[in-house]
Structure 1
């Protein structure tokens, strides 16, 4: 059978296939943070002892995990400090512990830092 004839039969099958379900997407994102610039966009004091990166990972079955990694530690082998319950539960479930220096100020309000991470994943999710 000629190739052009095969393509006539295959094209409608491809064109009429349902779109991929977006609920199974893996999404990650990150935002650099520094104490000097934190006060510009946030109401709470800078919650970390050093500059670094707030990162997020979204798995549909687990939810959005938010972590902090100090500057110089955002590598594939680094396990950041969990900032929200989803991140803490994920690490516990996988029997993992953070391997970056602990860099959260004692008594710090993490609500805005967590929000930064959640927004990063939401933004990346919308862009994919």
Structure 2
């Protein structure tokens, strides 16, 4: 039985690891926490979201590019679809007939430029981490 575990376990681990091509196409995603109180210290635009805490996330898709979303606290696991902040995220959701399912959104007439810049920076940082580890 022990021999079987030593044979099967490494195969199981290897089958779950992404190939180099997968790293190139879907290099992962990252996020950064944001909140209304700290936002004003680091940004010139007003806090753009209707909830005081959340995260801005970014992931890359080979066809759509870098997708930036906002997810309120409590709605950040994989079962939720965040509010798209950039065109790539909106186009991806539209093409896949998906809609955000989080209860909080963007304030009316909000300037999203800084929030999008934060998300794109997250993508850049994640790409750098993965480039150094692959």
TM-score by length of 1: 0.80
Structure 2 residues without counterparts, runs of 5 or longer:
1-19
Higher helix share: 2
Shift of 1:27: 2.2
Aligned to 2:123: 121
Q: Aligned equivalents of 1:71 and 1:42: distance in 2?
A: 20
Q: Does 1:108 align with 2:110?
A: yes
Shift of 1:26: 2.1
Q: How far does the alpha carbon of each residue in 1:13-70 deviate from its partner, in whole angstroms, 9 at most, with x for none?
A: xxxxxxx566434220101000000012111110011110101111233200000011
**Which segments of structure 1 move beyond 6 Å, counting only runs of 4 or more?**
none
- Number of residue pairs aligned between Structure 1 and Structure 2: 109
Aligned to 1:33: 34
Q: Is the 8 A contact 1:26 1:60 kept in 2?
A: no
Q: Is the 8 A contact 1:67 1:81 kept in 2?
A: yes
Aligned to 1:14: none
Q: How far does the alpha carbon of each residue in 1:55-90 deviate from its partner, in whole angstroms, 9 at most, with x for none?
A: 111123320000001110001100000000000000
RMSD, aligned α-carbons = 1.4
Q: How far does the alpha carbon of each residue in 1:71-126 deviate from its partner, in whole angstroms, 9 at most, with x for none?
A: 10001100000000000000001100000013211100000000000000100001
